[in-house]
Amino acid sequence: MKLKVKTSSPQETMSVAEKLARSLGYPAVISLIGDLGAGKTTFTKGFARGLDIKENITSPTFTIMNEYLSGRKPLYHFDMYRLGSLDEALELGFGEYFDLTTLKGASIVEWAENTKGLLPERHFEITITKLNENEREISVEPKGLV
Ligand SMILES: Nc1ncnc2c1ncn2[C@@H]1O[C@H](COP(=O)(O)OP(=O)(O)OP(=O)(O)O)[C@@H](O)[C@H]1O
Ligand SMILES: [Mg+2]
Protein backbone atom coordinates (compact mmCIF):
# COMPACT_ATOMS: atom_id res chain seq x y z
CA MET A 1 0.00 0.00 0.00
CA LYS A 2 1.24 3.45 -0.91
CA LEU A 3 -0.49 6.70 -0.04
CA LYS A 4 0.39 9.65 -2.22
CA VAL A 5 -0.24 13.33 -1.76
CA LYS A 6 0.97 16.41 -3.60
CA THR A 7 1.95 19.57 -1.73
CA SER A 8 2.52 23.09 -3.08
CA SER A 9 4.48 24.70 -0.23
CA PRO A 10 6.69 23.83 2.74
CA GLN A 11 3.73 24.68 4.99
CA GLU A 12 1.61 22.05 3.25
CA THR A 13 4.35 19.44 3.59
CA MET A 14 4.57 20.24 7.31
CA SER A 15 0.81 19.92 7.60
CA VAL A 16 0.84 16.46 5.99
CA ALA A 17 3.63 15.39 8.35
CA GLU A 18 1.82 16.83 11.37
CA LYS A 19 -1.32 14.85 10.55
CA LEU A 20 0.67 11.69 10.02
CA ALA A 21 2.39 12.11 13.40
CA ARG A 22 -1.04 12.45 15.03
CA SER A 23 -2.34 9.31 13.28
CA LEU A 24 0.52 6.86 13.75
CA GLY A 25 0.83 4.25 16.47
CA TYR A 26 4.03 4.36 18.51
CA PRO A 27 6.81 3.36 18.66
CA ALA A 28 7.43 4.14 15.01
CA VAL A 29 10.47 4.29 12.77
CA ILE A 30 10.27 6.52 9.70
CA SER A 31 12.68 6.60 6.79
CA LEU A 32 12.75 9.76 4.68
CA ILE A 33 13.91 9.20 1.11
CA GLY A 34 14.56 12.12 -1.20
CA ASP A 35 17.29 14.17 -2.88
CA LEU A 36 19.11 17.12 -1.33
CA GLY A 37 16.54 19.85 -0.72
CA ALA A 38 13.55 17.57 -1.33
CA GLY A 39 12.04 18.49 2.02
CA LYS A 40 13.05 15.79 4.52
CA THR A 41 13.94 18.24 7.29
CA THR A 42 10.86 20.34 6.49
CA PHE A 43 8.74 17.19 6.83
CA THR A 44 10.39 16.46 10.19
CA LYS A 45 9.48 19.95 11.45
CA GLY A 46 5.83 19.19 10.77
CA PHE A 47 6.10 15.74 12.28
CA ALA A 48 7.52 17.28 15.48
CA ARG A 49 4.57 19.69 15.60
CA GLY A 50 2.27 16.66 15.45
CA LEU A 51 3.96 15.38 18.60
CA ASP A 52 3.44 18.79 20.26
CA ILE A 53 7.18 19.43 20.38
CA LYS A 54 7.81 23.09 21.03
CA GLU A 55 11.52 23.27 20.29
CA ASN A 56 12.77 24.46 16.93
CA ILE A 57 13.85 21.54 14.74
CA THR A 58 17.23 21.99 13.08
CA SER A 59 19.03 19.70 10.67
CA PRO A 60 21.31 17.19 12.44
CA THR A 61 23.80 17.27 9.58
CA PHE A 62 26.77 17.68 11.92
CA THR A 63 25.45 16.12 15.14
CA ILE A 64 23.92 13.16 13.20
CA MET A 65 21.15 12.89 15.81
CA ASN A 66 19.05 15.46 17.64
CA GLU A 67 16.60 14.43 20.32
CA TYR A 68 13.47 16.30 21.34
CA LEU A 69 11.84 15.31 24.60
CA SER A 70 9.33 18.12 25.16
CA GLY A 71 6.39 16.58 23.28
CA ARG A 72 3.84 13.78 23.76
CA LYS A 73 6.45 11.27 22.60
CA PRO A 74 10.22 11.51 22.32
CA LEU A 75 11.48 12.24 18.80
CA TYR A 76 14.93 11.19 17.57
CA HIS A 77 15.90 12.89 14.31
CA PHE A 78 18.82 11.40 12.40
CA ASP A 79 20.72 12.54 9.32
CA MET A 80 22.97 9.73 8.08
CA TYR A 81 24.36 11.80 5.19
CA ARG A 82 27.88 11.76 6.66
CA LEU A 83 27.86 8.12 7.75
CA GLY A 84 29.27 5.42 5.52
CA SER A 85 27.94 2.18 6.93
CA LEU A 86 25.78 0.27 9.34
CA ASP A 87 28.89 -0.48 11.46
CA GLU A 88 29.55 3.23 11.89
CA ALA A 89 25.98 3.80 13.08
CA LEU A 90 26.23 0.91 15.53
CA GLU A 91 29.58 2.15 16.85
CA LEU A 92 27.91 5.46 17.64
CA GLY A 93 25.35 3.54 19.72
CA PHE A 94 22.37 4.18 17.46
CA GLY A 95 21.13 0.58 17.46
CA GLU A 96 18.81 1.13 20.41
CA TYR A 97 16.82 3.79 18.53
CA PHE A 98 15.81 1.21 15.92
CA ASP A 99 14.70 -1.58 18.24
CA LEU A 100 10.90 -1.54 18.35
CA THR A 101 10.85 -3.57 21.56
CA THR A 102 12.53 -0.74 23.51
CA LEU A 103 12.01 2.44 21.46
CA LYS A 104 9.63 4.96 22.98
CA GLY A 105 8.27 7.47 20.53
CA ALA A 106 9.66 7.94 17.04
CA SER A 107 12.94 7.70 15.19
CA ILE A 108 12.90 9.60 11.90
CA VAL A 109 15.86 9.21 9.55
CA GLU A 110 17.21 11.19 6.61
CA TRP A 111 19.60 9.28 4.30
CA ALA A 112 18.93 5.87 5.89
CA GLU A 113 20.24 4.44 2.59
CA ASN A 114 23.75 5.10 3.98
CA THR A 115 23.27 2.77 6.96
CA LYS A 116 21.49 -0.12 5.28
CA GLY A 117 20.26 -2.78 7.67
CA LEU A 118 19.85 -0.38 10.62
CA LEU A 119 16.10 0.06 10.33
CA PRO A 120 13.73 -2.61 11.63
CA GLU A 121 11.76 -4.48 8.99
CA ARG A 122 8.64 -2.75 10.20
CA HIS A 123 8.89 0.95 9.42
CA PHE A 124 7.31 3.67 7.32
CA GLU A 125 9.03 4.71 4.14
CA ILE A 126 8.28 8.27 3.11
CA THR A 127 9.50 9.31 -0.31
CA ILE A 128 9.57 13.00 -1.22
CA THR A 129 9.95 13.83 -4.89
CA LYS A 130 10.60 17.37 -6.09
CA LEU A 131 8.21 18.12 -8.96
CA ASN A 132 9.27 21.75 -9.33
CA GLU A 133 10.38 24.66 -7.14
CA ASN A 134 7.41 24.49 -4.75
CA GLU A 135 5.64 21.21 -5.50
CA ARG A 136 6.45 17.85 -3.97
CA GLU A 137 4.92 14.41 -4.20
CA ILE A 138 4.96 12.65 -0.86
CA SER A 139 4.37 8.92 -0.71
CA VAL A 140 3.87 6.96 2.50
CA GLU A 141 4.43 3.22 2.48
CA PRO A 142 4.22 0.92 5.50
CA LYS A 143 6.98 -1.69 5.23
CA GLY A 144 7.35 -5.07 6.87
CA LEU A 145 3.70 -6.05 6.96
CA VAL A 146 2.77 -9.60 5.98
N1 LIG B 1 6.22 21.69 -1.11
C2 LIG B 1 7.38 21.79 -0.43
N3 LIG B 1 7.64 20.91 0.57
C4 LIG B 1 8.80 20.97 1.24
N5 LIG B 1 9.79 21.86 1.02
C6 LIG B 1 9.58 22.77 0.05
C7 LIG B 1 8.38 22.77 -0.72
N8 LIG B 1 8.44 23.79 -1.63
C9 LIG B 1 9.63 24.38 -1.43
N10 LIG B 1 10.32 23.79 -0.43
C11 LIG B 1 11.67 24.21 0.00
O12 LIG B 1 12.58 23.14 -0.24
C13 LIG B 1 13.61 23.13 0.75
C14 LIG B 1 13.64 21.80 1.45
O15 LIG B 1 14.74 21.80 2.32
P16 LIG B 1 14.98 20.68 3.41
O17 LIG B 1 16.12 21.14 4.24
O18 LIG B 1 13.72 20.34 4.11
O19 LIG B 1 15.42 19.45 2.48
P20 LIG B 1 16.14 18.10 2.88
O21 LIG B 1 15.50 17.03 2.07
O22 LIG B 1 16.16 17.92 4.35
O23 LIG B 1 17.63 18.34 2.34
P24 LIG B 1 19.02 17.67 2.82
O25 LIG B 1 19.17 16.37 2.05
O26 LIG B 1 20.06 18.68 2.40
O27 LIG B 1 18.98 17.46 4.30
C28 LIG B 1 13.29 24.27 1.70
O29 LIG B 1 14.01 25.40 1.32
C30 LIG B 1 11.79 24.49 1.50
O31 LIG B 1 11.39 25.81 1.78
MG1 LIG C 1 17.69 17.62 5.73
Contact 33, 141 (CB under 8 A): no
Tell me the ligand closest to 113's alpha carbon. 1
The neighbourhood of ligand 2, an ion, using CB within 5 A, equals 40-41, 59, 110
CATH of the domain at 136: 3.40.50.300
Instruction: With 0.95 as the threshold, say if the pTM is over it.
Output: yes
pLDDT tens-place string over residues 7-57: 999 999 999 999 999 999 999 999 999 999 999 999 999 999 999 999 999
What is the pLDDT, as a whole number, of residue 146? 82
Mutation choice for ligand 1 from 5, 7, 8, 42, CB with most ligand atoms inside 8 A = 42
Pairing of strands 3-7, 65-68: unpaired
Smallest CA-to-CA distance from 127 within 110, 144, 115 is with: 110
Read off the pLDDT of each residue in 113-131 and give the average, rounded to a whole number.
Answer: 97
pLDDT tens-place string over residues 50-98: 999 999 999 999 999 999 999 999 999 999 999 999 999 999 999 999 9
What is the pLDDT, as a whole number, of residue 71? 98
Residue partners of 1: CB distance under 8 A and separation at least 6: 141, 142
Could you give the number of structural domains in the chain? 1
DSSP state of 118: -
Instruction: Give the rounded distance of the alpha carbon of 110 from its chain centre.
Output: 6
Where in the sequence is the domain holding 38, given as residue range(s)? 3-143
**Whether the predicted pLDDT of 119 surpasses 90:** yes
First to last CA, the chain: 12
What is the pLDDT, as a whole number, of residue 69? 98
Is 39 touching ligand 1 by the criterion CB < 6 Å?
A: yes
